[in-house]
Amino acid sequence: MRAAETERAPGIDPATSEPTLASVAPAAPPRIVTRRLNAFFGDLRAVRNVSIEFAEKAVTAVIGPSGCGKSTMLRCLNRMHEITPGAIVEGDVLLDGVSIYKGGPDPIAVRRHIGMVFQRPTPFPTMSIRDNVSAGLRLRLTSRPSKTETEEIVESALQRAGLWNEVKDRLRESAMALSGGQQQRLCIARALATKPEVLLLDEPTASLDPMSTQTIEELVYELKQSIAVVIVTHNMQQAARVSDRTAFMLAGELIEFDETTTLFTRPRDSRTEAYVTGRFG
Amino acid sequence: MLGLTYVAAVLATLPLLLILFHLLRQGAASISLEFFTEMPRPVGEEGGGMSNAIVGTLILLGVASAIGLPVGIGAGLYLADKRNAPLAMTVRFLSDVLNGLPSIVMGIFAWEFLVRPFGGFSALAGGVALGAMMIPLVTRTTEEMIRLVPASLKEAALALGYTRWRTSVTIVLRTALPGIVTGALVAVARIAGETAPLLFTALGNQFWSTSLREPIAALPLQIFSYAISPYSTAHSMAWAGALVLIMIVLIISLIAKYVTRRKFAGGGD
């Protein structure tokens, strides 16, 4: 679990953005901003006019009942929504002040800057543990890391994901031999290896046992020391445990967005209150 | 009930065991090094081999695979990707029809379009006919195998910044590869014994030929012509040929198993 110090806060790729302000943590501008974001599946409007900011070096949780559009909203942040046939995104999403939709940015390039981990662990079954972690690195056309650099990156990504000690002696083995919780941490390591600026977690512990869940939650807490983390969860206790700020969504709309403690203890909206007190959902 | 399933399971393997046993009894005596290295002897004469037919069958399988595998795998990838597109539905249906097409019809078709216009029987025409028979088999197994790859895996690759193309090749195709290889080899094994499509295309050849533009000998054709001849020496050669044909199929299946087992050895992409 203790490995965050081996890794510097990822700098911003000079090609894509403004000079970094990472050193001024509290007043840092938000990493991701959405502006009147709407997402559709055909005629179904799953996300409605969501404008929200995701802070640097913080964990933002998005909660809400099933079907409220929280995962869809998350998938708009790295342009994964549009891979579904018939899916449309309107409005805008800014990463460090630059639109990831307008002005023709390549969605592939966007996804390389924003890591994502899914509900079920998705290790690539044909690859070894090491190759899983370095999978994203091999995509680079230029400045592809050398073999030794790759080894270092793999080790540090596995360290950050808290998996290194468990797998260091079997990096060449299949990733499928790992337990569910280990596989999920492997997926986090895989996402971290490319040094993303933001990490999106889509219900990352929904398929895991309580012990693995706790490990992942501790890991999320570590990760926010260096990057922005957005976690979608249907588990309110989890949101309360890991996040600095929490957004509550209902029927595609952003109902309330506040400091996590405020949202859970003194919600302003009656619907938020009803949800966090367990009266529906 | 469970007892009946045991009986069914044994019955399912019984034909193969009986065939193998019978072929070994009838054909093994005629198999020697000579069988693989010698040309057929004139009718009625003892000895000789089927070297031309063995090589001919391998060449035909090579030509058929060169056509059937890329087209079949490509079409399977398309069907798996564009599940419900009108073209995909049509292709899927037609490929099922093609799969059920009697092989003699395929032979006549190949004769009409590849033999008659070019003025002669050829190994190429035979290979094309066999390749066309492989396509629907390979297409459907490829599609099925690709569909077995969870969509979540594809998403994970895309989210990592893989292009669609690269996701298809290095993640989806690779994950499905053992299944596709098995399906391809099953298709090769299946057409290895086809006789009807070769009757009007490759024709058969008593002499040594490896040219794609000439008629070529093939094991099934040779077995057929020996089996219908009245000589007992020819009959035992037919049995031996059948045994070799089965052995080729068995070896192909063993290769399939070996390839599948080795999937982690390489690592990386």
Predicted complex ipTM? 0.84
Are A172 and B268 in contact (CB < 8 Å)? no
Count structural domains, chain B.
1
Residue from A254, A252, A258, A255 nearest A239 by CA = A258
Rounded Cα–Cα distance for residues A115 and A136 (Å): 10
State pLDDT tens for residues A45-83: 999 999 999 999 999 999 999 999 999 999 999 999 999
Q: Name A33's bridge partners.
A: A53, A94
Residues ≥6 apart with Cβ < 8 Å to A61: A230, A231, A232, A233, A238, A239, A242, A243, A245, A246, A247, A260
Nearest-angstrom CA–CA distance, A275 and B212: 75
Q: Which residues in A lie closer than 8 A to residue B159 (C-beta atoms)? A: 78, 80, 111, 115-116, 118
Q: Across the interface, do B161 and A194 touch by the CB < 8 Å criterion?
A: yes
Inside any domain, residue B15: no
Using an 8 Å CB-CB cutoff, list chain A residues near B158: 80, 83, 111
Strand ranges across the sheet with A59-63? A98-99, A87-95, A32-41, A44-54, A253-259, A245-250, A59-63, A228-232, A198-202, A114-117
Q: Which of B158, B163, B267 is opposite residue A127, by nearest beta carbon?
A: B267
CA A155 to chain centroid:
21
Chain B residues whose beta carbon lies within 8 Å of the beta carbon of residue A126: 171, 174-175, 177, 263-264
- The H or E element that residue B51 is part of is helix B51-81
pLDDT of A14 > 50? The answer is no
A114, exposed or middle or buried, with CB in 10 Å at 0-12, 13-18, 19+?
A: buried
Domain annotation covers residue B153:
yes
Token pair of A17, please? 């953005």
For residue A111, list chain B residues with Cβ-Cβ distance below 8 A: 158-161
Q: Which residue has the tokens 């506040």?
A: A258
Question: In the predicted model, is pLDDT for residue A144 greater than 90?
Answer: no
- Confirm whether B131 is domain-assigned: yes
Closest by Cα among A228, A125, A251, A117 to A181: A117
Instruction: Provide the CATH number for the domain around residue B69.
Output: 1.10.3720.10
Domain boundaries, chain A: 4-8+25-276
Q: By residue range, what is the domain housing residue B59?
A: 51-261
Instruction: Give yes or no for A187 touching B (CB within 8 A).
Output: yes
**B29 falls within a domain:** no
In this structure, of A2-6, A30-34, B230-234, the range with the lowest mean pLDDT score is A2-6
| Mean pLDDT per 10-residue segment, chain B (269 residues) | 90 92 89 89 81 94 96 92 90 93 91 90 94 95 91 93 88 88 90 91 88 90 92 89 92 81 45
- Residue B21 in domain: no
Interface check A230 vs B, CB under 8 A:
no
pLDDT at A146 over 90: no
In angstroms, the CA A108 to CA B159 distance is: 8
Residue A214 neighbours by CB under 8 Å, 6+ apart: none
Residue B39 domain-assigned (yes or no): no
Using CB atoms and an 8 Å cut-off, which of residues 146-205 of chain B contact chain A? 150, 152-153, 155-163, 166, 171, 174-175, 177
Q: Please give the CATH number for the structural domain made up of A4-8+25-276.
A: 3.40.50.300
Find out whether A196 and A16 touch, Cβ atoms under 8 Å.
Answer: no
- Among A5-19, A21-35, A166-180, A207-221, the minimum mean pLDDT is found in A5-19
Give the number of A-B residue pairs with CB atoms closer than 8 Å.
Answer: 71
